[in-house]
Structure 1
Amino acid sequence: MTRYGYFLACEEFTPAELLDQARAAEQAGFECLAISDHFHPWTAEQGNSPFVWTMIGALAQVTSLPVTTFVTCPTVRMHPAVNAQAAATAGVITGNRFRFGVGSGEALNEHILGDAWPAADVRLEMLEEAVQVIRDLLTGDEVSHRGRHYTVENARLYTTPDQPVPIYVSGFGPKAAALAGRIGDGFVTMTPDEELIGQFRRAGGGQKPVLGGLKVCWGTDRAQAVKRVHRKWPSEFLPGELGQVLPDPAHFEQATTLVTEETIAENVVCGDDLDEHVAAVSAYTEAGFDEVYVGQIGPEQQGFFDFYRGEVLPRLRAA
């Protein structure tokens, strides 16, 4: 049976707001949480970007829900060995409720130390090696590793959870989906694409979990909700590889001038129409997702949670 979760957008909200949302999500009947891992927001209008590992520690104190990163790039900004230590501590402090979502990343967050931003195939190669380093360290054994991209010498994690931290691999194209099937404990993708899920399963994913989701903008005035999404999240609709290669929020602001309100109105659930919300979430269930996460854009958080608790989640579960 599909589980329904809430997506915590670090790019848009302060730490205190994210913690309030996590509490409200659990009270509303959501079963799990996902949280983004960014150094920068996509645009200055979003205006936030707290450190995800600090947030996970805080979340462990205010909610009993499982938490998954959507997603961490463990290859450039932080060395895989440091990511392994962070993931191990998150597993311990959450009582084995942490799942480590990883992906090949975006230049927006990963170029900040001056490293060259590799081509997509190289990024996937780096991700595969990083995941192996992380898995080795999560055992608690001493690890030395000399690979093409990473070196680890005499490293050992002394604080590790008593259950392995699941590593879910993100992908938005066939190569990444195949890599996720081969090395991941699950798959993260953000569109209800049955073919992409099939590629993951055929590549070794089998019946491993598939996670993903969508952003909506609940509100009683649909036109205002569309404007809010257009102001806050036009970056969701940039084509091709722009999301992976643009290096600065200012560049995203320039590119998103090409995204119209009409595009938002046609592609994002805005307003308070129950059937539209249910249909948008159900598309993921029908595509074969095991966990579907919904994020609310903008300040109408309590209205969103009341709506989902009283109407959307009951309808989804009845179906």
Structure 2
Amino acid sequence: MSAGPLDDLGALRGWAASAQPVFICGQERSGTSALQLALARHPALFPVPHVFETFVFNEPRALLADPPRRMLQGYLGGPEGLAAMRERLAVLGGGDAAAVADEDLIRAFFAHAASCAYPGRRPLEKTPSHVYSLPRVFALFPQARVLACVREPVEVVDSYRRRLRREQALGKAPGDWAWLDKTDQQLIAQFRRVDQALREAAVRAPGQVFQVPYAWLTADPAAALAALCDFIGEPFDPALLAPRPGRSVRIDERLGQPLGAPPTPEPTTLTEAVAATLRRETWGLSRRWRVAGPLHPDTHAEAPAPAR
């Protein structure tokens, strides 16, 4: 009988090399959560029940930290799931889970999820900041398919501001909304980092990263999701368009609505001067981010440095 993916390091690495996970990343406030919840309804993918961001490619040692992170536990089905995974890590580490290398921690996390939390399903995971870890993603999972969500920068900044006001109005602690409290210049720098990461991914893994503009995804969700299913090699299923009620209470009111549902009209939080500055500072990446489809070097590679 062949070894299971968590029986030894050789089997684990072989499993990861042949696995075909689907990872969602990209710019925050660009539809990553809505896309993850939609794809989680596909019968071939992990039915992740909520928006759990694992950060596992960025911070693999968090898998061993105490107290454990709630989202890591939630992704694996609760405290018991995380405890069971740590037991397997201890075996892989010769009695000490901490002896397992970072890369194998990540492999084991998804192998355990595929074996125990979501058996018979294809890995699906969403963490926006994994866009900065795409070299590690493809080094560990060379057959991965990545969906990178992007959005017009002015809309992203406006979305940040609205969400920040909403979180503060609910009386949440600063630790819950600190990630939203960024200046315009900090967000512009973030946009450029995301754009740089995507241009580098176009060279490193041509055709394996599908850029998903928010406007494209929400204008015709059925057609967009059909194209994404084709990209990941799965048939389209109408269930992707039917969100479960009750999402608004836990996460965001938009997540309990169909992807293409028109937003409630609200005045912008940005002055025209701020919007004009954002457009001027991001015009190049904004133009690139309007294009839906797999990234390739000929259209998305890093532009050459100007001649001196």
TM-score normalised to structure 2 length: 0.31
> Larger RCO: Structure 1 or Structure 2 (Cα < 8 Å, ≥ 6 residues apart)?
2
TM-score normalised to structure 1 length: 0.30
Structure whose alpha-carbon radius of gyration is higher:
2
